Amino acid sequence: MNIFYYDVAVDIPVRRCFTYKSISKIKKGTRVTVPFGRKTLIGIVIKVSSISTSIVKTSAIKEIISVDDQYICFKKPLFNTLLWASEYYHHPIGEVFLSFLPSILRKQTNKSIINIDESSNYKINSTDKNFDLTSEQEIALKKLKKIEEFNPTLIYGVTGSGKTEIYLRLVEKLVQEKKSVLILVPEINLVPQMLDRFKKRFDGEIGAYHSKLTPNQRLKIWLKSRLGGLKIVIGTRSAVMMPLKNIGAIIIDEEHDQSYKQSEGFKFSGRDLAIKRAQLENIPIYLGSATPSLQTLKLVKEKKFKQVNLLNRIDGKKPPKLIPLDISNSPLIGGIAMQTMGIIQSTIAKGEQALIFINRRGFAPLYECDACGWVAKCNSCESNLVFHKSKNRLICHKCESIYGVNDECPDCYSKEINLQGYGTERVEEVLENAFKKIPIIRFDYDSTRLKGAIESIYEKVHSNDAAILVGTQMLSKGHDFPKVTLCVILNADSGLISPEINALEKISQQLIQVSGRAGRNNNLAKVIIQTRYPDDINLKQIKTGNYQKFADQCLQNNKNLDLPPYSHVCILRTSSPKSKGSIDLLQKVSLFLAKKKGISLIGPLPSIPSMIKGNVRHHLIIKASSRSYLNRVLKSLIKDLENWPEIKKTKWSFDIDPYDMS
Ligand SMILES: [Zn+2]
Ligand SMILES: [Zn+2]
């Protein structure tokens, strides 16, 4: 009897595979159950093992318990994308593969079988497209339809230029060719709106895949896609490896959005993984944005990506004006200047809507004793606690710990507690007092958490005329609010003067995205930016609304300073119960890397927050001009590092292409 040996990746944080034997021939990418110590684990067959049976004692090699599916979970292009990802992100291979399986398949060994209606076909609803495209849309669509193979294309479209209609028509073509398509949006809140647009256009089942589904729902959509019963899937970054049969293209909406980056566990960029997948599948990938990332614009400049423009709104109207409002001498009520109040008043008097944007949720970011200066801090991470009035709780926004509210100071027993600063809840309260008869609708993490909350907020916004929306950056992303004619940005300054290297890219995207929410149906839209620096040189540039020109300047700047995307960055993060452990490890790493040419280091630095759940955190920023060189250096570092005694008590992880540098 023939015995075969396989290398299997299992769901544990180890950067290697384990060898097992079997009498069956098993294809790579197949899900198997294997013994592991005293447990059994689910694994993925990575390759036929190259162990030499003449050297290794084969009797010590354990046998694969079962082959769990009748199909291969990860077929070749997906398999190779994930193999690439584990190398590129230097993350344990088993976690990389298994994190893209629905949780049920990650845990259970039972075979999953489902009845699929193979005949699933889409009918195009022609009443939904009973209008003409603008000539600009026609030209863009013609160019985009010609792309048949991997040829990443940026769809640079200002807000209101009809990008979604372009997506719909591209999908129409694919559906007619019997191909399937994956559409990614950056946030779960954007799924319902996109799903709605697609449901109106296509009669037939459209899949939505994101973290708010139950494990069973996720399994069902995954299997249906895998077996060919579902051809259009809309999802967040967790959907990027959706095993769609006969995939014809990937669409990434709002490609610049930081939410594509997963910052916990396996830290990957959903956008970059999608691009790699499209390359290995050899299919077109379309990246849409009104404020493309510098990374994408650089690739366009280097002719590695194509660019198609939609520079005019479909209604033919001009984009809203961005008006900086100097607040250095005006008193603020809950963050709002008197002058701004007046403008809001006249907007709602006309039966129109205003949108107030503030990048902080909760009521007050500082809960402080007036008598002795004590400030409420989180016990496990030292961050300042944010007072949430609606829940009457103090909440840590870094680690989500929740604390009860005491109305006296724990240090001096004074009752003079002061609520400093303002967040969405406070702004909401101020507006409720000022405009008693007008609905004030809050749109932030807290108000949208529950299932169906987004839909009911939409309903409220659309069914009212005069109304005021108050929200965090969540509100700036791709939503349609046709009755909004005024946007107010309460605190742009923190972005304008931030020392972070990608701060300008972030703030310009944010300002232009927020302004894109205004005036979709109206000529007279305004965007007020409250600032203490009305003459700031960058603000003046952003104010023109010409994002591409501003981004070009940022690119040139970063090129001169050898910053990303012209250099490549990895952050090594450590955490340990004692401060010494986490910093000692990074110091040893610094010494190791100091010997390497062409690597520059910043740190070790304390992270923000410096402690999470009782563990002290530090990080080291590692930078190199060449991506492949950085990769090689990190590989040799890991090889060494894994034998160091220091890693026994200190957790460490890599963050490749970090978005957040703190
Ligand atoms: Zn006190
Ligand atoms: Zn905390």
Query: In CATH, what number is assigned to the domain containing residue 575?
Result: 3.30.70.600
Count structural domains, the chain.
Answer: 4
- Nearest-ligand number for the alpha carbon of 399: 2
CB neighbour list of residue 199: distance below 8 Å, 6 or more residues apart: 206
**Is 629 contained in some domain?**
yes
Same domain for 42 and 165: no
**CA of 380 relative to ligand 2 center, distance in Å:** 5
Range of the domain at 204: 123-310
**Average confidence (pLDDT) over 142-161:** 94
**CA of 372 relative to ligand 1 center, distance in Å:** 4
Q: By three-state DSSP, how is residue 525 classified?
A: coil
**Is 390 contained in some domain?**
no
Same domain for 242 and 134: yes
**Is 406 contained in some domain?**
no
**Is 117 contained in some domain?**
no
Beta-strand ranges (E) seen in 474-582 are 484-489, 526-531, 568-576
From 50, 77, 107, the end of a domain falls on: 107
**CA of 556 relative to ligand 2 center, distance in Å:** 39
Report the alpha-carbon distance of residue 265 to residue 258 in Å, rounded: 16
For 434-449, what is each residue's pLDDT tens digit? Answer: 999 899 999 988 888 8
**Is 388 contained in some domain?**
no
Same domain for 589 and 537: no
Kindly indicate the confidence band of residue 74, based on its pLDDT and cuts at 50, 70 and 90.
very high
Residue 55, pLDDT score:
65
Residues listed for the chain: 662
Same domain for 187 and 150: yes
List the beta bridge partners of residue 377: 384
Report the alpha-carbon distance of residue 216 to residue 213 in Å, rounded: 8
**Average confidence (pLDDT) over 408-416:** 90
Beta-strand ranges (E) seen in 185-231 are 202-203, 207-209
Inter-CA distances, 263 with 30, 258, 267, 268, Å? 28, 10, 5, 7
**Average confidence (pLDDT) over 347-373:** 91
- Nearest-ligand number for the alpha carbon of 397: 2
Residue 329, pLDDT score:
86
**CA of 362 relative to ligand 2 center, distance in Å:** 15
**Is 563 contained in some domain?**
no
- Nearest-ligand number for the alpha carbon of 413: 1
pLDDT value at 368 more than 80: yes
pLDDT value at 119 more than 60: no
Same domain for 177 and 60: no
**Is 416 contained in some domain?**
no
**CA of 373 relative to ligand 2 center, distance in Å:** 20
**CA of 306 relative to ligand 2 center, distance in Å:** 44
**CA of 370 relative to ligand 1 center, distance in Å:** 7
Report the alpha-carbon distance of residue 512 to residue 91 in Å, rounded: 35
For 626-638, what is each residue's pLDDT tens digit? Answer: 999 999 999 999 9
- Nearest-ligand number for the alpha carbon of 408: 1
From 49, 74, 107, the end of a domain falls on: 107
Same domain for 542 and 438: yes
pLDDT value at 510 more than 70: yes
**CA of 418 relative to ligand 1 center, distance in Å:** 10
The pLDDT mean for the chain works out to: 88
pLDDT value at 175 more than 90: yes
- Nearest-ligand number for the alpha carbon of 369: 1
**Average confidence (pLDDT) over 145-167:** 93
Residue 478, pLDDT score:
65
Residue 27, pLDDT score:
93
Same domain for 286 and 186: yes
Report the alpha-carbon distance of residue 68 to residue 75 in Å, rounded: 15
pLDDT value at 118 more than 60: no
Is the CB of residue 403 less than 8 Å from the CB of residue 393?
yes
**CA of 383 relative to ligand 1 center, distance in Å:** 18
From 72, 107, 142, the end of a domain falls on: 107
Kindly indicate the confidence band of residue 499, based on its pLDDT and cuts at 50, 70 and 90.
low
Residue 109, pLDDT score:
60
Same domain for 58 and 22: yes
- The domain spanning residue 20 has which CATH number? 3.40.1440.60
Cis peptide before 331 (omega within 30 of 0): no
CB neighbour list of residue 489: distance below 8 Å, 6 or more residues apart: 357, 511, 514, 527, 528, 529, 530
- Nearest-ligand number for the alpha carbon of 373: 1
- Nearest-ligand number for the alpha carbon of 403: 2
Same domain for 439 and 297: no
For 34-62, what is each residue's pLDDT tens digit? Answer: 999 899 999 999 998 877 666 667 778 89
Is the CB of residue 17 less than 8 Å from the CB of residue 93?
yes
**CA of 364 relative to ligand 1 center, distance in Å:** 18
Looking at per-residue confidence, does 457 or 613 come out higher? 457
The residue whose two tokens read 């972030």 is: 506
For 202-219, what is each residue's pLDDT tens digit? Answer: 998 999 999 889 998 999
- The domain spanning residue 258 has which CATH number? 3.40.50.300
CA angle 321, 322, 324 (to 5 degrees): 140
Same domain for 359 and 499: yes
**Is 231 contained in some domain?**
yes
**CA of 241 relative to ligand 1 center, distance in Å:** 53
For 583-597, what is each residue's pLDDT tens digit? Answer: 888 999 999 998 888
Following DSSP, what letter does each residue of 85-131 receive, concatenated? HHHHTT--HHHHHHTTS-HHHHH--SPP-----TT---EE-GGGG-S
Q: Is 608 left (phi over 0), alpha (psi -120 to 50) or beta?
A: beta
**CA of 403 relative to ligand 1 center, distance in Å:** 18
Q: By three-state DSSP, how is residue 143 classified?
A: helix
Q: Among 120-129, 461-470, 473-482, 531-540, where is mean pLDDT lowest?
A: 473-482
Report the alpha-carbon distance of residue 121 to residue 103 in Å, rounded: 28
Is the CB of residue 77 less than 8 Å from the CB of residue 133?
no
**CA of 396 relative to ligand 2 center, distance in Å:** 5
Same domain for 649 and 543: no
In the structure encoding, which two tokens stand for residue 183, read together? 């559409």
- Nearest-ligand number for the alpha carbon of 398: 2
CB neighbour list of residue 529: distance below 8 Å, 6 or more residues apart: 322, 323, 324, 325, 489, 492, 511, 539, 543
Same domain for 480 and 598: no
pLDDT value at 271 more than 80: yes
